[in-house]
Amino acid sequence: MSALKGLSGSLAGFPGFALRRLVGAVVTLFAISVIIYLVFYVAPGDVAQITCGPRCSPAQVHQVAEQLRLDDPLYVRYWHFLQGVFVGQDYSTGTSVQHCGAPCLGVSYQSGQQVTQLIWAKLPVTFSLVLGAMVLWLILGVGTGVLSAWRRGRFTERALTAVTLAGTATPVFVIGLVLMIVVCGQLQLLPFPQYVPFTEDPEQWAWNLLLPWLSLALIESAKYARLTRSSMLETLAEDHVRTFRAYGVGERSIIGRHALRGAVAPVIALSANDFGSAIGGAVLSETLFGLPGLGRELVHAVTVVDLPVVVGMVLVTGFFVVLANAVADVLFAVADRRVVLS
């Protein structure tokens, strides 16, 4: 794509900017962990009882209280929690003692499983879902946006605008539900989604995920189409486009080289951001399509009030969002270096 040309070149002041942004991300993460810790472990009510779960015996609750060091001051408790994250800690569940390795986010007292391992096992599902959908929605969205900016003021644009508007207005669980009923149920074109690991059978993996990808992509691409179109139209109204028109540069060049280039930075930034929020937002599509990812695990944990799992999930998704935001900022700066200079 010729619009991407010009991303290279001198990057004066850039490493410093990237570093500052990264430090900012770490600070944000730290703040998030504090807030989450405060919200969930210092909440009113019997924390030990909530953490342990409704079916715990008084003895077990007592043990949990000890594990969480409920008698210690707040900062000691938080420090203990952080220690677990960075160096790991031991958990005693009734009779046996298990060691929870370095990024330790605690142990589920209801299933006896370590939260980190639980998340680790579910991550591939969520990643498969989000990454595949993202590729689709970028192609669909940017393509639609370019087309409607190019055919602006004509029927094509009005039609595309109407379609994308409908897309932004449809909740993902509505379109997913309808697609599943029509495509899988009545037409039987695709199987009802089931997760098949990529390592096991790549073809089945893709075939099964196609419907979830499509549903997510249809909704998300609408946003990208609108963004692409509006940034391109904004660029088209700028003075430098007038310059190139006044120099006889053709419409195709103006759209493909100049207007599209203006949309690159915002699209990159939005996709990095969306990657983060899609990891979090996968809750809906996973529940709907019955995919055993992070989101569905979280819904389960919320319904049975499995606090350590909930907290772990929130932290991990928060981690991805913060990371994605930082990457988004850096990528934006790469695409539009005026940001670094100002």
Partner 1 sequence: MSPAEADDGVLRAVGDGVLPAARNGVLPAARNGVLRAVGDDVPGAVGDGRGAGGDGLAETGDGSGPAAPGGGSLVEVTDLSVAFGDLRAVDGLSFRLERGAALGLVGESGSGKSTVASALLALHRGTGARVGGAVRVAGVDVQAASDDELRRLRGGKAAMVFQDPLSSLDPYHAVGDQIAEVYRVHTRASRRAARARAVEVLDRVGIPDAARRARSRPHEFSGGMRQRTLIAMALACRPDLLIADEPTTALDVTVQAQILDLLHTLREETGMGLLLVTHDVGVAAESVDEILVMRHGRAVEHGPVGTVLGAPRDTYTRELLGAVPRVDAPRVAEGDVGDETVLEAVGLRREFGTGKRRFAAVDDVSLTVRRGETLGVVGESGSGKTTLGRMLVGLLEPTAGTVRHEGREQTGVSPSVQMVFQDPVSSLNPRRSVGESIADPLRARGERDEGRIEGRVRELLERVGLDPDHYDRYPHEFSGGQRQRVGIARALAAEPRAIVCDEPVSALDVTTQAQVVALLGELQRELGLALVFVAHDLAVVRQVSDRVAVMRRGRIVEYGPVDEVYESPRDPYTEQLLAAVPALDPEVAARRRAARGEPATA
Partner 2 sequence: MSEALVASQAPGTDSSVPGASGARQFWRRLRAQRAALVAAGVVALLVLIALAAPLLTAIEGQDPTTYHPSLVDSARGGVPVGPLGGIGGDHWLGVEPQTGRDLFARLVYGARVSLGVALAATLVQVLIGIVVGVAAGLGNRWVDQLLSRATDVIVAMPLMIMSLALLAIVPSSFPRPVLVALIIGLVAWGSIAKIVRAHTLTLKELDYVAAARLSGWGAWRVARRELLPALAAPVITYAALLVPTNITVEAALSFLGVGVKPPTPSWGQMLTAADIWYQAAPQYLLLPAGALFVTVLALTVLGDGVRTALDPRAASRLRIGTGRRREAKA
- Which residues of this protein are in contact with partner 2, per CB under 8 A? 24, 27-28, 31-32, 35, 39-40, 43, 45, 50, 152-153, 165-166, 168-174, 177-178, 180-181, 185, 233, 236-237, 239, 241-242, 245, 276-277, 279-281, 283-284, 287, 298-299, 301-303, 305, 307, 310-311, 313-314, 317-318, 321-322, 325
User: For partner 1, how many residues bind (rule: CB under 8 A)?
Assistant: 25
Helix (H, G, I), strand (E, B) or coil at 255: helix
Residue with tokens 């940017």: 142
Give the one residue of 262, 276, 295, 312 binding partner 1; rule: CB under 8 A. 262
Residue 151, interface with partner 1 (CB under 8 A)? Answer: no
Q: From the CB of 317, what's the least distance to partner 2, in Å?
A: 5
Closest to partner 2 by CB, 86 or 192: 192
Closest to partner 2 by CB, 1 or 38: 38
The phi-psi region of residue 305 (left if phi > 0; otherwise alpha if psi is between -120 and 50; otherwise beta) is left
State the DSSP H helix or E strand holding residue 241, giving kind and residue range, or none if neither: helix 239-246
Distance CA(321)–CA(136), nearest Å, equals 20
Window 7 to 66, contacts with partner 1 (CB under 8 A): 9
Q: Which residues of 169-208 are buried (b: 16+ CB within 10 A; e: fewer)?
A: ebebeebbeebbeebbeeeeebeebebbeeeeeeeebeeb
Counts of helices then strands in the chain (DSSP H, E):
14, 2
* Residue 338 binding target from partner 2, partner 1, none, CB below 5 to 8 Å by type: partner 1
Q: From the CB of 169, what's the least distance to partner 2, in Å?
A: 4
Closest to partner 1 by CB, 201 or 251: 251
Residue 261, interface with partner 1 (CB under 8 A)? Answer: yes
Q: Which of 36, 63, 44 is nearest to 52 (CA)?
A: 63
Residue 249, interface with partner 1 (CB under 8 A)? Answer: yes
Residue 97, interface with partner 1 (CB under 8 A)? Answer: no
State the DSSP H helix or E strand holding residue 303, giving kind and residue range, or none if neither: helix 294-303
Contacts of 274 (CB under 8 A, 6+ apart): 134, 220, 324
Binding positions for partner 1, rule: CB under 8 A: 5-6, 9, 238-240, 242-250, 253, 257-258, 261-262, 264, 336-338, 341
